[in-house]
Amino acid sequence: MPGLESDDVWSLDTRGVLTLAVCKETYQSLGLVGQKLPWKGCDDTYVIQIFLHSECPDSAIKEKWHPLGVKQKASLEAWDARRGSWKIMYNYTDSGRRRICQYPCRHEPSGVDGKPMEDAIIDVRETKPIVRKTMNAHIPVPTAQPLMKGVEDLEHEEWEEKVSALFEWVGMACLGAKRLQVMDRPDPYVAVYSPPSPSRIGEFTHVRWSGLLPPGFVQSVINAASSTPLPPSSFVCITSQGVPTSPVSYLPPHRLIKTPLRAPRAESEDTWSLLFSNGGQNYQTEDNLWWALAESIGQWDMRWG
């Protein structure tokens, strides 16, 4: 999270890894070895990663991760004292009551060992879903099959066109676009939209959670979507927007896998959509359930390769 008068940010994730993205001046004052971002335009930003578990594996050290030792603690405490208060966002999952709470707060300098959170200014916000049903709408009937090896270019282009139209419809549904309504009659000089073909008239449901969501919760939504039998010719799609100001783009399946470098910027883009469908079949099995993943990634992100 950022400070008051600087673009320096840090992220503490569920792997137990503290990631800093700091300017050159801060980097030199910290005295901790990090990695310089390789892109022109943000090459004065350095990324430092600190492994907070009691024992730092050799594989993590080879990746230039720091163990949390005396030197690292002293550097962070001195930085914290120079900086002043931080704006912090974190979440807490109450599994017993199935609640997700977010805690935007401003925390005064306290040292790495911390001080009671009661001393911080905390605004607790419980995250609840917002459900919206849309009636009498054009709904695509997915018929596109997974992209197989060895297909001809024409088939590839046709598949991309169909799936792109499907993701476009999902985006409009998330926005509550009136163009999806059967009775919508916009001025053709203002808006022109045709739903993917084939389509049917029906209703769809949009469920939205807003805020900093725990990775485990997002995974549970994906698991539910992929394991719940779908009605004939139906589909479900999950769209997630990341935190572009975080130096960590995503959490890998193993905590020792290094995440790709990226420049944390408020104006960046970090969105993905995951779609599940039974491909127009009358019943769903593991063989006919197909999925497609689309990512929209901003500039200065190593996920581009």
pLDDT band at 120 (very low <50, low <70, confident <90, very high): low
Tokens of 88: 């912090």
Query: What is the pLDDT, as a whole number, of residue 2?
Result: 47
Torsion from C-alpha of 2, 7, 13, 15, nearest 10 degrees: -150
Query: Looking at the predicted structure, is the pLDDT value of residue 3 above 50?
Result: no
Q: What pLDDT digit, counting tens, does each position of 24-45 carry?
A: 999 999 999 999 999 998 989 9
Highest mean pLDDT range out of 35-44, 151-160, 255-264, 282-291? 35-44
Please tell me whether the peptide bond between 198 and the residue prior to it is cis, using omega within 30 degrees of 0.
yes
Burial tier of 95 (Cβ tally within 10 Å: 0-12, 13-18, 19+):
exposed
DSSP state of 261: P
Domain chopping of the chain, boundaries:
130-304
Phi, psi of 108 (to 5 degrees): -75, 160
Query: Looking at the predicted structure, is the pLDDT value of residue 279 above 70?
Result: no
For every residue of 129-180, DSSP letters joined together read -EEEEEEEEEEE---PPPPPTT--HHHHHHHHHHHHHHHHHHHHHHHT-GGG
Tokens of 155: 């088939």
Query: What is the pLDDT, as a whole number, of residue 147?
Result: 47
Query: Looking at the predicted structure, is the pLDDT value of residue 272 above 80?
Result: yes
pLDDT band at 55 (very low <50, low <70, confident <90, very high): confident
Bridge partners of residue 122, in order along the sequence: 105
pLDDT band at 294 (very low <50, low <70, confident <90, very high): very high
Q: Which uninterrupted H or E stretch holds 181?
A: none
Q: Taking the model in full, what pTM does it have?
A: 0.81
Q: What is the distance of C-alpha 291 from the center of its chain?
A: 18
DSSP state of 37: -
Other Cβ atoms closer than 10 A to 265: 18
Q: Are 181 and 136 in contact (CB under 8 A)?
A: yes
Query: What is the pLDDT, as a whole number, of residue 87?
Result: 79
C-alpha span between 124 and 85 (Å, rounded):
18
